[in-house]
């Protein structure tokens, strides 16, 4: 290869890299948030005791919520789902979660399902606060609330729990920050310089006084367990880490893991 050919090859490589960098930077929120608009009334998904709600956020968006009251002596889970799908995608898990008489209040973030708006970190945190406020408005005591976040929803859950003392915070598929995850996944790009929504949970969890349970599958490829371990290290006591052998992402959807989580909650009483 001639010197000129070598220079042209380098120039092409630089151009391809620059294009990829621009694409990643410009589409980062589309990569992070993958909502569906598949929706419907909760009862159409077999949640017969569940009420459909529409909540107003502090910045004027309208987000869809499902609420099912708890039986006496049972907690209400304020639930935040992951980055993909919608509430409808979680209906089976919510049925399993509440078979013992527990209740829940779950929201579709802005831009998900039939909720208005466009997802951003600032927006999702407002959605989380609207969900918590609605649970309290419905008469649920703070000491009966368990904030539960899965995957990206763990970032929302930590932020909400940092502002309110509740029965417990339960996280699954969580991370120290989405910035850490993205920097490891896209190691070839300087993502720390341009990432917009960083969900710095390891900083926020320092303000969470409630008991904390972090659940993570050892085989999770979407969010490797090292990021959950980093989050756990940053968390103040009381805290418990539950590593699920060979489980992947969304380990809590397993009936066995769900039972273990409920047993942990019972131990707090």
Over residues 131-164, the pLDDT tens digits come to: 999 999 999 999 999 999 999 999 999 999 999 9
pLDDT at 57 over 90: yes
Q: Name residue, tokens 């002596």.
A: 73
Domain 3-267: which topology? Rossmann fold (3.40.50)
Q: Which of 267, 215, 222, 224 is nearest to 244 (CA)?
A: 215
Handedness of CA 46, 47, 53, 55 (dihedral sign): negative
The domain ranges of the chain are 3-267
CB-CB contact of 102 with 70 (8 Å) = yes
Cβ-in-10-Å burial (0-12, 13-18, 19+) of 269 comes to: exposed
Q: CA 194, 196, 239 angle in degrees (round to 5)?
A: 115
Over residues 225-265, the pLDDT tens digits come to: 999 999 999 999 999 999 999 999 999 999 999 999 999 99
Residue 5: its pLDDT value, please? 59
pLDDT at 75 over 70: yes
How far from 43 is each of 15, 47, 66, 154, CA to CA, in Å?
Answer: 53, 5, 10, 26
pLDDT at 89 over 90: yes
Whether the predicted model's global pTM rises above the 0.75 cut: yes
How many angstroms separate the CA atoms of 258 and 217, rounded? 13
Residues in the chain: 269
Radius of gyration of the chain (CA): 20
How is residue 55 written in tokens?
Answer: 């909540």
Beta strands at 168-172 and 62-68: parallel, antiparallel or unpaired? unpaired
Q: What is the mean pLDDT of the chain?
A: 94
pLDDT at 87 over 80: yes
């Amino acid at each position: 290869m001639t010197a000129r050919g070598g220079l042209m090859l380098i120039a092409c490589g630089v151009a391809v890299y620059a294009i990829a960098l621009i694409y990643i930077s410009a589409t980062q929120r589309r990569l992070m948030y993958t909502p569906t608009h598949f929706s419907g009334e909760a009862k159409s998904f077999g949640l017969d005791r569940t009420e459909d709600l529409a909540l107003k956020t502090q910045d004027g968006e309208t987000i869809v919520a499902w609420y099912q009251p708890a039986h006496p002596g049972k907690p209400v889970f304020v639930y935040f789902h992951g980055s993909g799908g919608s509430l409808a995608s979680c209906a089976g898990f919510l049925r399993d979660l509440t078979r013992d008489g527990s209740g829940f209040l779950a929201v579709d973030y802005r831009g998900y399902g039939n909720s208005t708006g466009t997802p951003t970190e600032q927006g999702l945190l407002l959605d989380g606060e609207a969900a918590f406020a609605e649970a309290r408005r419905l008469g649920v005591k703070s000491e009966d609330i368990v904030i539960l976040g899965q995957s990206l929803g763990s970032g929302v859950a930590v932020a909400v729990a940092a502002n309110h003392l509740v029965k417990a915070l339960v996280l699954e598929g969580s991370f120290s920050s989405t910035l850490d995850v993205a920097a490891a996944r896209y190691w070839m790009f300087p993502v720390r310089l341009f990432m917009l929504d960083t969900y710095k949970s390891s900083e926020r969890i320092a303000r969470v006084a409630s008991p904390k349970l972090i659940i993570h599958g050892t085989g999770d490829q979407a969010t490797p367990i090292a990021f959950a371990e980093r989050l756990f290290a940053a968390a103040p006591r009381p805290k418990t880490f539950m590593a699920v052998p060979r489980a992947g992402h969304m380990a809590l959807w397993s009936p066995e893991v769900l039972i273990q989580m409920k047993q942990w909650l019972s131990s707090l009483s």
